[in-house]
Every structure is written in C-alpha cells, then in structure tokens.
C-alpha cells in the first residue's frame, strides 16, 4: 500500500509530539493511582474501625453500664419494692434510648414492666400495642440464660416504625420466693444509625452494617446484601465470632469495581463495611488523565496542523518534481520545475533536475543525428572514449536514392524540398526500424541502412520491397512530389567502426559490399529493388519473395560484370525466374 510522504511526516511529527506526553502521563497516572489506592484503603479501614469502636463504646458506656448500675441497685436488699420501681422509672428518664426496663420472675407470666411514655405513644400512633412490643418474652430470657449471653444485645426491627431495637438481659442475685429474677431492657438504636448517617465518609462512600444473615441493619428498609462479595466474606467471620479487620477489592453484581474494608464490633454480631467505588477513589487520577488527554489532544491538533503545513511546504516541491519527471518520461523535454525557490536541499534538487532535463533534451536531439550503431559504440566505450578503428562484420546494406530529385528541387522552394525529403525519409526510416535495421546515414537524397544478425538478408530485401510500396502510398497522398525510389541491396563483410579524426568522427560501414549496394541502387529503375547474388542465395528458401534475374551489369569500380536480381513480393506478377 502506498503511503504519501506528507502523511508519513504528519504521523512521525505527531508521534514525536504526543508520544512523550503519553508515556509521562501513563507513569504519572500509575503512580498516582497506587498512592490513591493506598490512601483509600487506609481511609476505608480507619472509618470501619472508628465505627466499630463508636458502636462498642456507645453501647457499653451509654447503655450497658448504666443498666448494670440500675441492676445493682435493684439487687440491693436495702431497697423496698416501691423504691426499686421508682429507680427503674428514674433510670428510664435518664436514659432516653432505653424504651423499657423489665423484671421477670422465673416461672411467672406477669413481669414488672416500666416503659418510656413517649415511645409508647409513638407505637400507639402507629396502631401498635406498646406492651406487646416492649415486653421481653420469658422464652427469650430463658434462651439468653441458656447460652450465657447476658448483656449481649439481640437486635430486631419494628417494621411499622422502622426502628431498630436491641434487647439485653442481666441476671439478678435477688430471688423472690426462691425464684430467679432477670432484668431486661429494650434500647432504641437510632444513635448508632445516626453515627453511620452523619459520618463524613458517607458523603463520598457507603457505610453498611450487616448481620450474620447478610441483611442490612440500622437502615430502612432491610436489604439482603449477601450477593456482594465483600458481604459474603464477612458472614463466616460473624458466625465464628472472629474480629479480624480486612481490606478487599471486588466487583459488585452490577459490574461496579469497588474497594472495601470491614470491622466487627465486640458487642454486636455485625460487620461494619465501608465501601468506595474505584471511580471515586481514583477521581483525582481520572481528572489528571482527562487533563492529560485534553493537553494531548491540543498537542496532537497543533502538531498535526504544524506537520501538515510544514509537510505541505516540503512535499509540494517534491510533487512538482515528480510531475515534471512524469512529463519528461513521456518525452516532453520542454518541461521545467518552476516555483521552487527554497534555499535548501529541495531547491538544489529542483535546479539540478532542470539542468538534467536540459542535458537530456540535448542528448535526445543529438541522438537523432547519429545511428544506433554509433550510440552502441558510445555506450560500449571506456573512460578514454571511442577509439578510431573498426571490425569486420557480416551485414546486408540497403541503399536508397530518390529519382527525379534534382528536377524537383529546381522547381520548388528549398522549404518544400526539405519538407518532401523529410517525409520520404520518415517513411523509409519507419520501415527500416520495423525490420530491425539501423539507418547509418543520410547522404543528400540517399539513405544507407545496415541489417545485422540472423535473417538479415531476408529482412533487408523485405524492407526494401515494403519501402517501394510505402513510397507508392506517399505519392498517392502527395502526387505533386512525383519522385520514386531506386534501391540496391548487397550482403557480405564490411568494416564497421569509427573513422575520421580524433576530434571529429563518423561511425559507419565501409567496404566493397557498401559500394556494391550503392552501385546497384544507381542502376535500379524507379520503383525497382536490385539485389546481388549473395543476397539472392541467402533468401533462396523464402517463399514470400520472388526474384527476376537480370543480365549481368557492368558497375563502376568493379572489373567483372555483376549478376543482379530484381526483387518483388511473391504475390506480384513478375516474369518467372530462368
């Protein structure tokens, strides 16, 4: 896949601009997250421990100890029953959260019950029987006595009011009629719930108190929370009476990531659980991350914009050079890179490219004035250049000459003469190249072509015959030219090489074969192709061509007459060969 240079530049520039920020931000975020997690865990543990201590101290200091004082007073033998009842009444007035104090005589169904009038009225307002709610059943007292859990609260909720009530029992040494007497009390636990509600941590986290069944206490309504991983972890510890505080990260059933800690009060079969969502715990990290993202986005935008502007300024000259290179590749050597004035490597490249185009154009023009053989000799030359001299080669040489050229040139202007010659030579050159020949030179109105390699004789003769046909077509278009060609073809060894002076050379062919081709051309009639014996014998098996033997011709420069043949296409009507 091709990726534009401008896009690459923008990518790497943006990467360099944003990459370090991302790395620094990542490390900063990780370090801050670790610190915040440590701080959050410490906070969670501290809050849970504070509430555990507050629950224990409140129960023991505000309720259990005063009730034990009352029990001791009631247990005294120095007080009569009226004084003891008055003591219970005064005790209730001094202990606002104690809703009822009861003396239960073993085996009796009629306990002595003193209640808080205000709370009794509250129950009555909800349609409840205060005596039924505030009386501690003998069965419960018996169960407490059986387990030895005197002084331990048993917590229940009054669903109609939402109040949480703790029931505790304290045994008396005093006996009535030889029967055991037990003092019990009902305590309304709203101060504990208020501690949870008013704790500063509750503003950003959650404080939950659960019992051994995984239900919430001190809250209304009661919720079953055992599905939470942290709650389920505390249940075995509550049941076992363990008091090991702990931290625990976990996922809630809804997928929320939480950090949690729990602690266990000494006087209640509860677990105080403090929870904080990771989102809130890492709020500072998230804010830092967002800030880094904002800065990164701004940096990305600025880096991208700067890279685009700079990349455009840098790549536009390169694209221009590429466009000009494509035009030069299509043969337009007049194209030049313009508008690139930067004083840097790209400006130097544009200047050098323009000079190269000019030199290529000059070279291309020079190539039109030399043959392919000359170009091959130049390419094969060593560092000292082309040396004078030649080598023997077997070739077929084609000579063409325009008949009637002198008369034509005398009748028309030089411009028309040049135009006509160019058209004649264009047609002939096209046919020569078609048959893989090389135009060696133009001599006035004559053309010399050389054919080398396998099948050179056949290609030379076929080329010559086709040139005659092409000339006929040309005259059909330009009948005013009224000039025909005569062609001579000869095959044999020639000397091919550089001839002339060291400072002015001509790469050409020389030898009797070249002379023979020229003489045959001179003796050919308009529209006729004459070939020598060597060429005729070389194409003896070619069925596409036919030859008419002619009388031996006395040629200038040759001692003996030369056997010549007129060549035609096989489908032309010519006299049979004898």
| Spatial CA neighbour of 404 closest among 520, 516, 486 | 486
Confidence of residue 576 (pLDDT cuts 50, 70, 90): very low
Say if residue 528 is exposed, middle or buried (CB neighbours under 10 Å; 0-12, 13-18, 19+): buried
Across the range 480-501, mean pLDDT stands at 86
Whole-number pLDDT of residue 578 = 36
Q: State the Cα–Cα distance between residues 91 and 98, nearest whole angstrom.
A: 9
Across 276-280, 281-285, 321-325, 431-435, least confident range: 281-285
Q: Is the dihedral of CA 269, 274, 277, 278 positive or negative?
A: negative
Across the range 10-17, mean pLDDT stands at 68
| Spatial CA neighbour of 162 closest among 181, 188, 139, 182 | 188
Q: State the Cα–Cα distance between residues 87 and 235, nearest whole angstrom.
A: 40
Q: pLDDT averaged over the chain? A: 83
Residue 119, pLDDT above cutoff 80: yes
Structure tokens that stand for 518 in this block: 């020229």
Whole-number pLDDT of residue 573 = 47
Tell me: the pLDDT tens digits for 363-420?
665 555 554 555 555 555 444 444 555 688 899 999 999 998 888 888 899 999 999 9
Tell me: the pLDDT tens digits for 99-111?
999 888 888 878 8
Whole-number pLDDT of residue 383 = 47
Say if residue 253 is exposed, middle or buried (CB neighbours under 10 Å; 0-12, 13-18, 19+): exposed
| Spatial CA neighbour of 461 closest among 396, 527, 515 | 396
Q: How far apart are the first and last CA of the chain?
A: 70
Confidence of residue 337 (pLDDT cuts 50, 70, 90): confident
Whole-number pLDDT of residue 2 = 61
Q: What is the pTM of this model?
A: 0.51
The answer to whether the CB of 463 falls within 8 A of the CB of 435 is yes
Whole-number pLDDT of residue 400 = 95
CB 47: neighbour CB atoms within 10 A? 21
Across 71-80, 91-100, 359-368, 486-495, least confident range: 359-368
Structure tokens that stand for 523 in this block: 């003796």
Across 24-33, 304-313, 320-329, 467-476, least confident range: 24-33
For residues 41 and 193, the model is more confident at 193
> Can you say how many angstroms the Cα of residue 149 is from the centroid of all Cα atoms in its chain?
69
For residues 159 and 314, the model is more confident at 159
Cα–Cα distance list, 430 to 399, 422, 424, 436 (Å): 15, 12, 10, 10
Structure tokens that stand for 347 in this block: 């400006």
For residues 196 and 220, the model is more confident at 196
Out of 295-299, 511-515, 569-573, the most confident range is 511-515
The percentage of residues in the chain with a pLDDT greater than 70, rounded to a whole number, is 80
For residues 244 and 248, the model is more confident at 248
Residue 497, pLDDT above cutoff 90: no
Helix (H, G, I), strand (E, B) or coil at 501: coil
CB 192: neighbour CB atoms within 10 A? 25
The answer to whether the CB of 101 falls within 8 A of the CB of 91 is yes
Helix (H) and strand (E) counts for the chain? 17, 18
Confidence of residue 361 (pLDDT cuts 50, 70, 90): low
Q: Which domains does the chain have, with CATH numbers?
A: 5-59+193-283 (3.30.450.20), 98-188 (3.30.450), 326-369 (no CATH), 373-569 (3.30.70.1230)
Q: What is the 3-state secondary structure (H, E, C) of 261-273?
A: EEECCCCCCEEEE
Confidence of residue 210 (pLDDT cuts 50, 70, 90): very high
Residue 283, pLDDT above cutoff 90: no
Structure tokens that stand for 134 in this block: 């505030």
| Spatial CA neighbour of 75 closest among 143, 176, 185, 153 | 176
Residue 471, pLDDT above cutoff 70: yes
Whole-number pLDDT of residue 508 = 78
The answer to whether the CB of 152 falls within 8 A of the CB of 168 is yes
Long-range CB contacts for residues 201-205, cutoff 8 Å, separation at least 24:
201/43, 201/47, 201/274, 204/276, 204/280, 205/44, 205/47, 205/274, 205/275, 205/276, 205/277, 205/280
Across the range 530-549, mean pLDDT stands at 92
Q: State the Cα–Cα distance between residues 334 and 324, nearest whole angstrom.
A: 10
Say if residue 500 is exposed, middle or buried (CB neighbours under 10 Å; 0-12, 13-18, 19+): exposed
Whole-number pLDDT of residue 575 = 47
Residue 16, pLDDT above cutoff 80: no
């Amino acid at each position: 896949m091709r990726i534009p240079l401008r896009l690459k530049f923008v990518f790497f520039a943006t990467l360099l601009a944003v990459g370090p920020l991302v790395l620094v931000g990542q490390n900063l975020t990780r370090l801050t997250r670790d610190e915040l997690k440590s701080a959050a865990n410490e906070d969670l543990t501290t809050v849970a421990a504070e509430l555990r201590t507050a629950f224990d101290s409140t129960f023991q200091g505000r309720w259990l100890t005063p009730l034990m004082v009352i029990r001791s007073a009631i247990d005294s033998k120095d007080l009569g029953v009226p004084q003891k009842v008055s003591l219970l009444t005064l005790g209730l007035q001094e202990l606002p959260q104690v809703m009822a104090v009861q003396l239960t005589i073993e085996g009796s169904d009629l306990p002595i019950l003193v209640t808080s009038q205000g709370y009794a009225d509250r129950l009555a307002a909800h349609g409840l029987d205060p005596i039924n709610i505030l009386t501690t059943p003998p069965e419960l007292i018996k169960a407490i006595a059986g387990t030895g859990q005197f002084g331990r609260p048993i917590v229940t909720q009054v669903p109609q009011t939402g109040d949480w009530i703790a029931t505790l029992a304290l045994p008396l040494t005093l006996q009535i009629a030889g029967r055991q007497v037990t003092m019990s009390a009902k305590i309304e636990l709203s101060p504990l719930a208020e501690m949870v509600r008013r704790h500063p941590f509750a503003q950003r986290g959650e404080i939950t108190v659960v019992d051994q069944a995984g239900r919430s206490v001190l809250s209304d309504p009661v919720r079953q929370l055992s599905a939470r991983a942290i709650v389920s972890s505390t249940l075995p510890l509550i049941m076992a009476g363990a008091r090991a505080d702990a931290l625990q990260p976990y996922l809630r059933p809804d997928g929320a990531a939480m950090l949690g800690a729990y602690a266990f009060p000494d006087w209640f079969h509860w677990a105080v659980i403090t929870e904080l969502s990771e989102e809130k715990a890492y709020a500072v990290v998230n804010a830092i991350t967002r800030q880094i993202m904002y800065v990164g986005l701004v940096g990305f935008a600025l880096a991208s914009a700067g890279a685009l502007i700079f990349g455009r300024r840098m790549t536009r000259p390169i694209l221009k050079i590429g466009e000009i290179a494509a035009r030069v590749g299509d043969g337009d050597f007049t194209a030049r890179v313009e508008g690139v004035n930067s004083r840097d490597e790209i400006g130097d490249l544009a200047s050098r490219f323009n000079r190269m185009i000019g030199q290529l154009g000059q070279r291309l023009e020079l190539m039109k004035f030399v043959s392919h053989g000359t170009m091959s000799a130049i390419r094969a030359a060593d560092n000292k250049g082309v040396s004078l001299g030649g080598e023997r080669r077997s070739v077929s040489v084609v000579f063409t000459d325009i008949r009637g050229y002198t008369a034509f040139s005398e009748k028309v202007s030089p411009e028309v003469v040049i135009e006509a010659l160019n058209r004649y030579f264009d047609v002939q050159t096209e046919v020569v190249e078609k048959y893989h020949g090389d135009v060696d030179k133009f001599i006035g109105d004559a053309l010399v072509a050389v054919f080398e390699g396998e099948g050179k004789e056949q290609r030379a003769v076929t080329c010559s015959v086709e040139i005659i046909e092409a000339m006929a077509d040309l005259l059909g278009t330009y009948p005013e030219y009224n000039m025909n060609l005569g062609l001579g073809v000869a095959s044999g060894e020639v000397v091919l090489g550089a001839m002339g002076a060291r400072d002015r050379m001509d790469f050409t062919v020389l030898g009797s074969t070249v002379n023979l081709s020229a003489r045959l051309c001179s003796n050919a009639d308009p529209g006729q192709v004459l070939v020598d014996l060597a060429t005729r014998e070389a194409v003896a098996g070619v069925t596409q061509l036919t030859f008419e033997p002619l009388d031996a011709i006395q040629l200038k420069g040759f001692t003996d007459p030369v056997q010549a043949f007129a060549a035609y296409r096989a489908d032309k009507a010519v006299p049979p060969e004898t």
